[in-house]
Structure 1
Amino acid sequence: MLPLEVCCCLLGWISLYFVFCYLNGQRDQEWNCRLVTLTHGVIIVCLTAYICFIDGPWPLTHAGTENTPLQTQALVISLGYFLFDFGWCICVRTEGPIMLAHHTMSILGILLTLGLGVSAVETCAVVFGSEITNPLLQARWFLRQTGRYDSLWGDVVDLLFILLFAVVRVGVGGVMLYTELTSPRPSIIIKGGGLAMYTLAWVFMVDIAKFACKKSRTKYKRWRERCHERCALRKANGHSGKSE
Structure 2
Amino acid sequence: MLAHHTLSILGIIMALVLGESGTEVNAVLFGSEITNPLLQMRWFLRETGHYHSFTGDVVDFLFVALFTGVRIGLGAHLLFCEIVSPKPKWFMKAGGIAMYAVSWCFMLSIWRFAWRKSIKKYHAWRSRRREEQQLKHNGHLKTH
* Fold agreement, TM-score > 0.5: yes
Name the counterpart of 1:141: 43
**Alignment partner of 2:117 out of 211, 215, 231:** 215
Normalised to the residue count of structure 2, the TM-score between the two structures is 0.94
Deviation at 1:116?
Answer: 0.7
Name the counterpart of 2:13: 111
Question: Counterparts in 2 of 1:63-102, with a 5 A limit?
Answer: 99-102=1-4
Name the counterpart of 1:162: 64
Normalised to the residue count of structure 1, the TM-score between the two structures is 0.56
Closer/same/farther in 2, CA of residues 185 and 239 from structure 1, 3 Å limit? closer
Closer/same/farther in 2, CA of residues 121 and 234 from structure 1, 3 Å limit? same
What is the CA–CA distance in structure 1 between the aligned matches of 2:89 and 2:48, rounded to whole Å?
47
Q: Which runs of 5+ in 1 are unaligned?
A: 1-98
Name the counterpart of 1:81: none
Identity %: 56
Task: Name segments (4+ residues, structure 1) moved above 6 Å.
Answer: none
Name the counterpart of 1:195: 97
| Structure with the larger RCO, 1 or 2 (CA within 8 Å, 6+ apart) | 2
Q: Which amino acid aligns with 1:100?
A: L
Closer/same/farther in 2, CA of residues 133 and 239 from structure 1, 3 Å limit? closer
Q: Which runs of 5+ in 2 are unaligned?
A: none
Name the counterpart of 2:126: 224
Deviation at 1:234?
Answer: 2.1
1:126 is the counterpart of 2:28: yes
Deviation at 1:239?
Answer: 5.4
